[in-house]
Amino acid sequence: MALISTLTPVFVAILCVVIAFIFKTQRSSESSSAQKSSSGGGSGSEARPWVDEDLQDDTEISGRENEEDDWAVVGTEDLPHVPYAPRRYPEEEMLERSKHFYALLNERRSVRYISPEPVPREVIDNVIRAAGTAPSGAHTEPWTFVVVADAEIKHKIREIVEEEEEVNYKQRMGDKWVHDLRRLRTNWVKEYLDTAPYLILIFKQTYGTMPDGKKRTHYYNEISVSISCGLLLAALQNVGLVTVTSTPLNCGPQLRVLLRRPANEKLLLLLPVGYPAPDATVPDLSRKELNDIMVFV
């Protein structure tokens, strides 16, 4: 009995040590799995809250694949902030302007028949200036607009696109894709690539290059460039020009090389730009009603 009562405190002490050990092991495994999930699952990598996996814009990839020393540290200087007072309209005028702008944009259609009639170069410069006002992650402006007016280069672009698109339609993309596109009456023949006075190819810069050769991370580059493309489409509509937002599959690398763009640039869109051909037609599509696209809470 005396022995048992002597040993009880020893048992209790051992039990406490065992419980503490189990608790500690559990805590450390929880914290390491939380760390993994916040860093996108990569072992040992620090958390990168700006990297949204849905965006798939190479922000993360470009940061991981390269040596730390290749990357510039930017934006450490304190920027002066200046007063900003954009113009403000009386409510009646606001309403009028909102209707007018909607009416203008509602006339926009993708046009695949483009007239060769020349378009003033200065107009193109200005629509691209307008596109360049888009917001961009950390003010990186990760876009390059390549404007092609040269007939020979336009034709080379057509050859690349038609060759790849023929494979897309006949083999690569499968029956469902071809079936879904049938009502638009599109195929791999892209005459507009020759006839449009300008082809605008929009490249996203997956990272930037500093004057000293170091790389600069372009956060959210794909979404930034997409916003810029939206502004470009609106600016074209504003001056009465037409285009079709085309995304020629599997042509990006060849077009990048043809246009001598660097490896950090990836083709996002190819826009043939001009006046509509006099006999242009468009598919008779209608847009969704406001209630189908807006949820008001």
Tokens of 42: 């990569």
Query: Near ligand FMN by CB under 6 A, which window of 66-74, 105-113, 125-133, 288-296?
Result: 105-113
Smallest distance from the beta carbon of 257 to ligand FMN, in angstroms?
20
Exactly one of 35, 110, 238, 250 binds ligand FMN (CB under 6 A); which one?
110
Smallest distance from the beta carbon of 98 to ligand FMN, in angstroms?
20
CA–CA separation, 175 vs 169, rounded Å? 9
- Taking each continuous run of H as one helix and of E as one strand, the counts in the chain are 10, 5
Considering just the CA atoms, what is the radius of gyration of the chain in Å? 28
Smallest distance from the beta carbon of 189 to ligand FMN, in angstroms?
11
CA–CA separation, 141 vs 280, rounded Å? 35
**Nearest to 113, CA basis, from 29, 190, 224:** 190
Smallest distance from the beta carbon of 109 to ligand FMN, in angstroms?
4
Exactly one of 3, 79, 82, 285 binds ligand FMN (CB under 6 A); which one?
285
Nearest-CB residue for ligand FMN:
110
The values of phi and psi at residue 209, to 5°, are -125, 125
Q: Print burial letters for 205-221: b (CB count within 10 Å at least 16), e (below 16).
A: bbbbeeeeeebbbbbbb
**How many chain residues interact with ligand FMN (CB under 6 A)?**
11
Smallest distance from the beta carbon of 176 to ligand FMN, in angstroms?
16
Exactly one of 168, 224, 246, 264 binds ligand FMN (CB under 6 A); which one?
246
Enumerate residues 133-162 that contact ligand FMN by CB under 6 A: none
Residue 64 neighbours by CB under 8 Å, 6+ apart:
42, 45
Q: Which is nearer to ligand FMN, 138 or 258 (CB)?
A: 258
Query: Per-residue x/- marks for ligand FMN, 163-202, CB under 6 A?
Result: ---------------------x-x----------------
Tokens of 222: 């794909």
- Residues near ligand FMN (CB under 6 A) are 109-110, 112, 184, 186, 244-247, 282, 285
